[in-house]
Structure 1
Amino acid sequence: MNVSLKEIQAIDVHAHPYLANTEPYTPEEFVRKLSLSVIPNQIPPHYKRVKKQPFPGSNMWVQILIQRLAKKFSCEPTLESVVKERNIRAIDFRKYTRDLFSDAKLSGVIADFGYPQPLLSKEDYADLCGARIWEIHRIEPVMVQLSQDCQNFAEFREKYRANLAGALKQDGIVGLKSIIAYRSGLEIAPKDEKLAADEYEKFKENSYAKAKKLRDYCLHVAMEECTKSDKVMHIHTGIGDGEVVLQKASPSFLIDMLRDEKYENTKVHLVHGGYPWIEEAAFIVSILPNVYMDLSLQNPFSGHGVKRILSQVFEFAPFDKVMYGSDAFTVPEMNWIGVHLFKECFEDVLNSWIDSDYMDSETAQAIGEMVLYRNFENVYRKHL
């Protein structure tokens, strides 16, 4: 008997909210919405395409999305046809979004409301998609806002810790998140309040300043508050958009901090599973009992690579340490294809394990359900 995940619910442990698009998208606008790049693709003025040639800026994941949407819409598998049909259905954007979530059996999302800015409403997003929404509280917007409000580091220090502690007491907030990989990298120095204070004025003048000692200090405070509240520290690892400090984005740079005795009981969630350094993330979660990883961003944005990644991750990662995620951030089609592509690829991997006599079908089915939602329930069980 083969594994089947089609009817299994999914909990997405990392995605972002979005608003309904008020006007129909052109094909070019839709492709831009699907891109991780913060720099728009430049299309030469006299660029020529032949029939069926992918639209400029499209990559494999976009191609897979077009192919799957064309089947769902019963239309020609071209960007232009799919966007035309999509725009008709998305006139009632709430119904369209809920239909996609329901079709994917996507029942819940841990949403990072730190992007986009200004903040969107949790209640509005929950109403839009019809799924249960949990929230993580991103520390960088707090740092920026308080740096403008506080005259000195002492005031900033007290208000910053109070903000994080207060947020973690709120219902529905399951943890904190840092995108320090985008600002100064993941090589975190020991906590040093004096050095952090020395960089405060620099950060106050320019919130994009590297200010590494201050940023490291703020991450340590966030780790401490998550430890106190028994909630989860989310840390962006690996690639993202073009602003990431790529040379310091591997999760391996976090290892000294994660091994610190004072954090031995701190739950840490490696967002994006360190992609493309997935082997490092898999090894880290295999040796540190309270560190977990998700497969967001690499799923669905690596396209056909999702199958390879799933196989690689489980070369080292324990089955109970990996969670489903998408990093969907602009349109509900990302949430939808994320689940379907993941299930499709994971079924192939799990069934290959059965064929190789590594396990029986019941064990493989259980592993699929663990990654799709059961691991989430176990990691976040106190806050559901």
Structure 2
Amino acid sequence: MLVDQHCHGVLADDLDEAEFGALITESDSPPVAGSSPVDSALGLAVRRWCPPVFGLPALAGPAAYLAARRAAGGAGATRRLLAAAGLAHLLVDTGLTGAAGRPLLPPVELAALAGAEVHTVVRLEHVAGGVTAEPHAWPEAVDEALATACAGAVAVKSVLAYRAGLAVPPGPPSRAEVVRAAGDTGAGGPGTDRLTHPVLLRHLLWTAVGLGLPIQLHTGFGDPDLRLAEADPALLVDFVRAVEPSGVPLVLLHGYPYHRQAAWLAQAFPHVYADVGLTLSYTGPRAAAVLGEVLELAPFGKVLFSTDAYGLPELFLVGAAQFRHALGRLLASWQADGACGAADARRIGELLSSGNARRLYGI
């Protein structure tokens, strides 16, 4: 059984073709005429792994698949797909609460449908966005809010890459700097719809370091809100060095197309880990090759599986199936080449599938 070290909630609803397609792409725009999100590497992976859950052959067409999905009902389809993923633990980022204009299943309902144990990952920016204290009191207020939100959590997450990019100065800002930034409501400060002020975001990161929980950081590709060049994990190297004395683990999520940079950081620094979630789903038939590129440098004890599933329950099954298939193909090729033995392959598989996550998060 797998430990999914980073995921989100899902919709347990009946979905039409447009809604379904919108949830298997990082684009937030409708497709151009003659194009469909299903005609993609991820779309192929969905068609490969999900139709058999509903008694259809692999690679069944989208229309037949959606008809079978609707026949099972939203909740029934969700239960089947989550069960087929074979996940023992889910680490759920609770910072996203809706998709396609509908609320996501809360963690307790997700756990019941998946037959898995759910653990909370607190999104720093989501918590801080709800703090409306006066500027002079904001640093302490946000620190208190984060400490309260993280009670019982296994990790925190930052979407700094989306808000200000990953090229952050290495040290924490002074209290005076934070107070000044908290009063700057015209530049992504408190009271705005979206916290983007780089000083406040740095304060959140260093508050998280003080909490001592593993910090998950979005890196690499995402939706169009992202400037991809600013999401290269190599930009974090000064921050990584500054955090190292604390021993607080930093988990670099996703990574692609910078997964080799993430792998290098995981090799070079003892407290850095590389995640392969989202990447293996979206790269479809190339997943084994991309996983091999991560393992070129990253120590086997520093690589983590996740699905990064969001919205569609299919993405839990696709993420798990892509990982198992890619890892199986890769390790079989290594054994055939004499690069490792069967015992080595079993150990590597166990580490990536669950062992590393259990050790890191204490589950």
TM-score calculated relative to the size of structure 2: 0.90
- 1:51 corresponds to: none
Which deviations, in whole Å up to 9, do the C-alpha atoms of 1:218-250 show, x marking residues without a partner? 211212222xxxx21111111111111322101
The match for 1:184 among 164, 167, 170 is: 164
- 1:301 corresponds to: 282
- State the distance in 1 between where 2:350 and 2:257 align: 24
> Secondary structure at 1:134's aligned position in 2?
strand
- State the distance in 2 between where 1:119 and 1:71 align: 25
1:256 matched to 2:238? The reply is yes
| Preserved CA contact (<8 Å) 2:128 2:145 | no
Amino acid at match of 1:12: D
| Preserved CA contact (<8 Å) 1:238 1:275 | yes
- State the distance in 2 between where 1:103 and 1:235 align: 28
- 1:6 corresponds to: none
- 2:203 corresponds to: 217
Q: Which moved more, 1:213-222 or 1:359-368?
A: 213-222
Amino acid at match of 1:325: S
- 2:312 corresponds to: 331
Change (3 A) 1:344 1:56: closer
1:56 Cα deviation from its structure 2 partner = 5.6
| Preserved CA contact (<8 Å) 1:279 1:312 | yes
> Secondary structure at 1:123's aligned position in 2?
helix
- State the distance in 1 between where 2:150 and 2:128 align: 16
| Preserved CA contact (<8 Å) 2:46 2:318 | yes
1:142 matched to 2:142? The reply is no
- State the distance in 2 between where 1:251 and 1:183 align: 15
1:34 Cα deviation from its structure 2 partner = 1.5
| Preserved CA contact (<8 Å) 2:260 2:297 | yes
Amino acid at match of 1:223: V
- 2:7 corresponds to: 15
- State the distance in 2 between where 1:85 and 1:155 align: 55
CA-atom RMSD, angstroms? 2.0
Amino acid at match of 1:362: A
| Preserved CA contact (<8 Å) 2:280 2:291 | no
Q: Which residues in structure 2 correspond to 1:83-162 (within 5 Å)?
A: 83-91=66-74, 93=75, 95-117=76-98, 121-146=106-131, 149-152=132-135, 154-162=136-144
The match for 1:267 among 237, 241, 249 is: 249
- State the distance in 2 between where 1:56 and 1:281 align: 28
1:329 Cα deviation from its structure 2 partner = 0.1
- 1:28 corresponds to: 18
- State the distance in 2 between where 1:373 and 1:90 align: 31
- State the distance in 2 between where 1:195 and 1:217 align: 10
* Structure 1, unaligned runs of 5 or more: 1-8, 48-53
- 1:4 corresponds to: none
Change (3 A) 1:192 1:107: same
- State the distance in 2 between where 1:68 and 1:262 align: 40
Which deviations, in whole Å up to 9, do the C-alpha atoms of 1:238-293 show, x marking residues without a partner? 11111113221011111111111664411111111x22101111010111112112
| Preserved CA contact (<8 Å) 2:41 2:283 | yes
| Preserved CA contact (<8 Å) 1:175 1:234 | yes
| Preserved CA contact (<8 Å) 2:281 2:322 | yes
- State the distance in 1 between where 2:295 and 2:104 align: 36
1:240 matched to 2:232? The reply is no
Change (3 A) 1:176 1:69: closer
- 1:5 corresponds to: none
> Secondary structure at 1:199's aligned position in 2?
helix
| Preserved CA contact (<8 Å) 1:183 1:245 | no
1:217 Cα deviation from its structure 2 partner = 2.0
- State the distance in 2 between where 1:232 and 1:275 align: 21
- State the distance in 1 between where 2:71 and 2:78 align: 13
1:57 Cα deviation from its structure 2 partner = 5.6
Change (3 A) 1:29 1:167: closer
> Secondary structure at 2:223's aligned position in 1?
coil
Amino acid at match of 1:141: H
> Secondary structure at 1:204's aligned position in 2?
coil
Change (3 A) 1:329 1:261: closer
* Structure 2, unaligned runs of 5 or more: none
- State the distance in 1 between where 2:105 and 2:56 align: 33
Which deviations, in whole Å up to 9, do the C-alpha atoms of 1:59-101 show, x marking residues without a partner? 111022113333442257211011111111234x1x4333323
1:209 Cα deviation from its structure 2 partner = 5.9
| Preserved CA contact (<8 Å) 1:101 1:107 | no
Change (3 A) 1:365 1:90: farther
| Preserved CA contact (<8 Å) 2:217 2:250 | yes
- 1:370 corresponds to: 351
| Preserved CA contact (<8 Å) 1:282 1:314 | yes
- State the distance in 2 between where 1:323 and 1:306 align: 15
The match for 1:38 among 6, 21, 28 is: 28
Q: Which moved more, 1:256-265 or 1:28-37?
A: 256-265
